[in-house]
Structure 1
Amino acid sequence: MRGLRRWWDDTAGGLPATFWYLWSGLLINRAGAFAMLFLSLYLTAARGASASLAGLVVGAYGAGGAVGTLIGGVLADRWGRRSTLLAAHLGAAGLMAGLAFSRHLAVIAVLAALVGVVHSMPSPAFVAAIVDVVPEERRSRAFNLQFWAFNLGMAVASLLAGVLAEASFVALFLVDAAATLAAAAVIALKVPETLARTARGTPSGPGRPGRVRRPGLHTALTDRTFLVFVGLTFLLAVLTMQTSTIMPLAMRADGLRPSAYGLVVALGGALIVAGQLFVPRLIEPYRKSSVLAVSTGLMALGFGALAVADHLPVYLGAAVVWTIGQMLAAPPNAQINADLAPPRLRARYQSVFYLTFPAASFVAPALGGLSLQHLGDRHWLVVGGLGVVAAVGHLLAGPPRERRVAALRESQREAELVRG
């Protein structure tokens, strides 16, 4: 019993109540966000769209996601974390209900793009709010739990989506909308505005007391230390996207059935749900750059091993390796991102960081398809090589990052003394 209590304290102890309400909202949000997983099937099966047209509509959703990430970051820093989360959730619920009853493909395409915007808006606000309320020494645990909730929610969503899609596509969209409203209710009732906890900024000039000068997105987009980290995260995202873009094609070329691909994906999700809560205690003694180098190296090894994979057991073994890498990378990746952001620009920095994922979702299939077509199994050696480059990059970029974080902390302490 004492061992279990100690494990719980190491994993989730000492986190504030606001974090747990944010965590609950995220879990409900992800568990209910299943309708868009079946968007292409809905368009072709229920609305008679061609495969190419369905692809364009799904692409519109992805493009909306890139725009929504930036909008969410700016609004969360200017308007507030809570307000941004509520607006995004309420907007998503309304748009999802609209999709349930829309019949014209042009209307569905516009709604899909708007859903992409509001689905991506909460991500910077969620993370910025977590950083606002969780003490620095406990953020690694908080981000680990966030990653776990995200994957648990996605696993639940995948199961629910299949059942609802077989019953009714209208029900699929309406239940999604209801789950989004439930998440909005948790945020509205239990999550206070956390933006006031951050630095308030500096006066904008003489004669304008109380006005605040807030640097824009350009600050994040010209921060070299931060952009190096974003670039390395982009490489990690390209590796991760292989599982949903190129790996199914490779498995089909090896004569494996779609059920085999489903088994590989399910194994990764099961490992994360079962093991992610044990990661913080495992990596706590080590430098973040070292953990990221090891985790990215494991991902390089796992994907590189697919160069010799032609049977399901090899794919499953490789999936175990790269999933462990993903699990180790999640907490330090999120914490470094939070540490590098000035308090007034937390959400903006998060929005730039989260752009790596829609970018990778475009680059991975676009270039990966060409690579697989022309290189065959050697494609996976290229992917493994990218992982090695990222691992070395983290080792080289680690010391400058640490110096930058130390300087930011010192400036924050000085600002607090001045305000005090």
Structure 2
Amino acid sequence: MQFRPLTKARSSLGATFGGLPNGFWWLWSAQLINRACGFVMPLLAFYVTDELHRSAAFAGTVVAAIGIGSLAAGPFGGILADRLGHKPTLVGALTATAVSMVALAYARSPWTLLVGAFVVGLVSNATRPAHNALISEVIPEADQVRAYSLNFWAINIGYSVAMLSVGLVAVTGYTALFWLNAATTVIGAVLIAIRVPGRGPTEPPEDATAEQGFGSVLRDRTFVGFVAAELLVLTILLQSESGLPIAMNQDGFSPSTFGQVAALNGIVIACVQLPLTRLYKRFPESWVLAGSSALIGVGYSVLLFGHSAWIYGASIVVWTLGEIGNTPTSFAIVARISPDHLKGRYQGLYQMAWTGSAVLAPLIGGTVINTWGAAPLWIGCLVVALAAAAAQLGIGTRLNRRVEDARQKAEQGAEPAAEVG
């Protein structure tokens, strides 16, 4: 009896980490290394104002150039992944990211800085459709939610390490951090090139010659509805980077206090994501997606009950629990419903929900708080999240039906084409 807790712990660890192929763990390791040394993006505004002595307005323009490149990266990276193969596209985009980061470190004129930032945003985010599609390539369908959850875990742990390490700039200077970021990106590319299996581009089935190109993804109305609902949810989620700090500043909290409270997001993800993922697997994916979306809205509505640091902390804990359910599940759904020859394009369109929300969230959050105050923003987050959750529940039913139809057709020896209704 005294060994039962140890047995349960081993069983839990096995359920979380066991049974996944070695190729995935090399892909996971590359993700962790790259995120842990991802210094350039978070420090770019500081670099432009502090090192280059440019204005805050110009620094914002340079960061916006990154965002514009990110918006274009979804379709660009998805098309390349389908045409060249997921692994070659990922390795190539990582290599291009390293080169562009080093070039940006030596850009000085306004135009070279803006063009360099755009290119970094484009090639660094072009890795994402290929990376997510490659996970679906090396992981069996039954384990994909778990794999995407572990990938999300690596992203958040790596980001936390990077944020704790940015003080290195005081010792090394900015240029050295650009080189370090680039060097670790190359290491990740080499690991993937050598250790991760990958196949070439998948040829479309003979009966789906009309269903090729990005247009076929846009004609998939069910999937476009899924992306639109996720755009709403992610715009709410990313109030953590816009509405939340503005509201805390208005309530008199210092940037240091905001950082301490915001750190709860990474702490909660690191501590409870993996056990929560096992819990969520007991329920249909459409329920998990809709429930987690609603929970994100509920989390922000907690801020209607007060203005203390404890209330802000409670809000972050609640919406983080929703984030844990939403992100891995949504990536797994995209991987499952997309035809093999269009997986990169499907991931690319879904990525636009992330990059688009990064543009919309600060515009909406700042405008609403400036015009009406914080309370209407939190009420709006709750209402929109509940509406998106209801839509996701209906869309999820159609997507589940598509998965079942795909299985039946696969058993009959025919690969299904993308649904357009």
Interval of TM-score (by shorter of Structure 1 and Structure 2):
over 0.9
1:147 aligned to which of 149, 152, 172: 152
Shift of residue 353, structure 1, vs aligned partner: 0.2
1:89 corresponds in structure 2 to 94
Whole-angstrom CA distance in 2 between matches of 1:173 and 1:244: 24
Q: 1:181 to 1:53 in 2, by over 3 A?
A: same
> Letter of the aligned partner of 2:409 in structure 1?
S
Q: Deviations over 1:312-346 (max 9, x none)?
A: 11100111111111112223212111122111111
**Matched residue of 1:48: which SS?**
coil
Q: Which segments of structure 1 move beyond 4 Å, counting only runs of 4 or more? A: none
CA distance in 2, matches of 1:159, 1:13: 30
Check 1:165–1:364 CA distance in 2 against 1; reply closer, same or farther (3 A cut): farther
- Measure, in 2, the Cα distance between the counterparts of 1:92 and 1:398: 35
Match of 1:333 in 2: 330
What residue is the counterpart of 1:201 in the other structure? 204
DSSP 3-state at the match of 1:194: coil
Aligned equivalent of 1:320: 317
CA change 1:175–1:107 in 2 (3 A) is same
Matched, 1:281 2:298: no
**Cα distance, 1:155 vs structure 2:** 0.9
Q: Which amino acid is the alignment partner of residue 246 of structure 1?
A: G
Q: Which of 316, 341, 345 in structure 1 is aligned with 2:342?
A: 345
- CA-CA distance at 1:214 after TM superposition: 6.6
1:413 aligns with 2:411: yes
2:255 aligned residue: 258
Contact 1:77 1:348 in 2 (8 A): yes
Matched to 1:130, the amino acid is I
Which of the residues 300, 303, 306 maps onto 1:306?
303
TM-score by length of 2: 0.93
Alignment of 1:8-47 (within 5 A): 8-47=13-52
> Equivalences for 1:99-118 in 2 at 5 Å?
99-118=104-123
Other-structure match for 1:209: none
> Is 1:373 the counterpart of 2:370 in the alignment?
yes
Query: Is residue 2:392 matched to residue 1:394?
Result: yes
| Matched residue, 1:68 | 73
TM-score of the pair, normalised by structure 1: 0.93
Q: Is contact 2:204–2:212 with CA below 8 Å preserved after alignment?
A: no
1:134 corresponds to which letter in structure 2? I
For residue 73 of structure 1, report the CA deviation from its aligned partner.
Answer: 0.6
Superposed displacement of residue 186, structure 1: 0.5
Q: Equivalents in 1 of 2:235, 2:166: separation in Å?
A: 26
| Mean CA deviation greater in 373-382 or 113-122 | 373-382
Question: 1:129, 1:194 within 8 Å by CA — same for their partners in 2?
Answer: no
TM alignment of 1:153-232, pairs within 5 A: 153-164=158-169, 167-195=172-200, 200-203=203-206, 215-232=212-229
Q: Distance in 2 between matches of 1:50 and 1:258?
A: 21
Q: Figure out how many residues of one structure are paired with residues of the other and give that number.
A: 410
Task: Determine the C-alpha separation between the residues in 2 that align with 1:415 and 1:164.
Answer: 57
Task: Give 1:291 deviation, angstroms.
Answer: 1.2
Give CA-to-partner distance per residue, 1:367-408, whole Å, 9 cap, x none: 221111122122211111111111222222222221122122
Matched-pair contact (CA < 8 Å) for 1:272–1:323: yes
Deviation digits for residues 70-90 of structure 1 (CA, Å, limit 9, x no counterpart) = 111111111011211111111
Deviations 1:113-153 (A, max 9, x none): 10001111111111111111111111111111011011111
1:74-113 per-residue CA deviation (whole Å, 9 max, x = no partner) reads 1111101121111111111111111222222321211111
Pairwise CA RMSD of aligned residues?
1.9
Q: 1 CA distance for matches of 2:272 and 2:367?
A: 35
* Change in 2 beyond 3 A, CA 1:227/1:165: farther
- Gap regions ≥5 residues in structure 1: 206-211
Q: What are structure 2's unaligned runs of at least 5 residues?
A: 1-5, 417-421
- Contact 1:129 / 1:195 at 8 angstroms: preserved in 2? no
Return the alpha-carbon distance in structure 2 between the equivalents of residues 69 and 166 of structure 1.
36
Return the offset for 1:166. Answer: 5.9
Provide the secondary structure at the position in 1 that maps to 2:412: helix
CA distance in 1, matches of 2:124, 2:409: 35
Give the share of equivalent positions with the same residue, in percent: 35
Q: Residue type matched to 2:166 in 1?
A: A
CA-CA distance at 1:360 after TM superposition: 0.7
Kept after mapping to 1: 8 A contact 2:137/2:198? no
Q: Which amino acid in 1 is paired with 2:392? A: H
Tell me how far apart the structure 1 counterparts of residues 105 and 396 of structure 2 sit (CA, whole Å).
48
Report deviation, 1:359.
Answer: 0.7
* Partners of 1:69 and 1:121 within 8 A in 2: yes
Shift of 1:213: 7.4
